[in-house]
Chain A
């Protein structure tokens, strides 16, 4: 019962919010704020049609590929930068500067370099998602316990096994944190990159629907984005719990 309580309360909150939405929009009868029933039924219709599926697939594909690229580049670069003290001292000021630039400000630049299309979107998504992963990897490397490294040295682990058995597992929780922070960023950048000069994707559907005054369609895209963000975070949480069972945060008492 005690374990069920947070679930029940969460569910109750959800129901209240949904009811408020239903009652509020039904009472208002405002064209700008359609009722959830109409939004959901339109969403179910549109996002399962071939066109809707193609738009959804385009966004999801860019998002996942961008995140993957950011993770690969961020972890690899983070491990190199974090291992070489001089390099990390030399690099950190401009990393701090570079990551302070909102990635959306680079849309015109990406536009110029890559033109319209997926490469420009991927560039933005990767770039924006890179920083939290890179910085967390560097911090994780810096935080590795000296005793662990001493142990690896005493038992003469080769560089390869040191990286595989000690460094990567020790840094993994921080990498996961970086990716968790990067997920909403990548979602924002997917949509933003689709809002300007694109002809596919969820963001395009929203802005197109708004321009043609199909407000229910617009809302259906927004709801879908919320759902997508929620699902991605939830799935990543599952993966994290599974892979990082040994971290203090995930431990189940035996």
Chain B
């Protein structure tokens, strides 16, 4: 369970970027933070990953304060091209965190193969990341995260730089992997459709200083499907509701 308790973040001497976020994410839940661009989502996420200290408030994951990166947390960044190590092969990229955390050679190898297999890259283990397409590179980053077997997977706009078809494929891949591993997922996006399609709950955040405007439960049936789920009237209502709130914010600030 992730407990985020009144966290705020301001950079030295500046106004707060993240203001007073409070929410809890249950074990196995898919929780998404959605908001307009420039809403401090990435800042919030760096705090939640333990990469950056908060200015006030606290983040607790399974009774442990998140003040630095925890073994139970993995992160998939938006920019796959810069989060993979170009000097290592795909397999080595996936293996490195395992070996660094003390997993033995034989077990690490087995987990690497299993993870690559589950993202459909079993045949590309020996390639280098830059020999793969963008979508495939992001799948390597996902494989690296799942081989690490975190209890919480944090994802920062992971599908923002791939084309629409690849994006839909990756979304479904993520839902399947999450089903198999029972990981808790904390997802950040500015894409409303994506947020509603993937999540159990969606937190709508405002522009900086970013606050949580509303947390919307997404009661859509599982498993989700790119076509049938998105045809449901309920999907349309939820999408319309979230979209409306974000549009009001964007226009609100533009008029000021």
Contact = CB atoms under 8 A, between A and B. Distances in A.
Interface residues of B, number: 26
Interface residues of A, number: 22
Contacts of A158: 100
B82 A154 contact: no
Given A154-B74, A246-B87, A147 B127 contact: no
Contacts of A157: 96-97, 100
Contacts, number: 62
Given A155-B96, A155-B97, A246-B128, A150 B75 contact: yes
Nearest to B74: A154
B96 A165 contact: yes
A240 to B, nearest CB: 13
Q: Is the interface of A mostly helix, strand, loop or mixed?
A: helix
Contact of B83 (A151, A165, A169): A151
Nearest to A253: B131
A153 B69 contact: yes
Contacts of A151: 75, 77, 83, 85
Contacts of B165: none
B86 A154 contact: no
Given A169-B85, A246-B130, A153 B51 contact: yes
A242 interface: no
Interface of A: 145, 147-148, 150-151, 153-158, 161, 165-166, 169-170, 172, 246-248, 251, 254
Interface of B: 46, 49-51, 69, 71, 73-75, 77, 79, 82-83, 85-88, 96-97, 100-101, 127-128, 130-131, 148
Closest 5 CB pairs of A and B: A155-B97, A147-B82, A169-B87, A254-B131, A154-B75
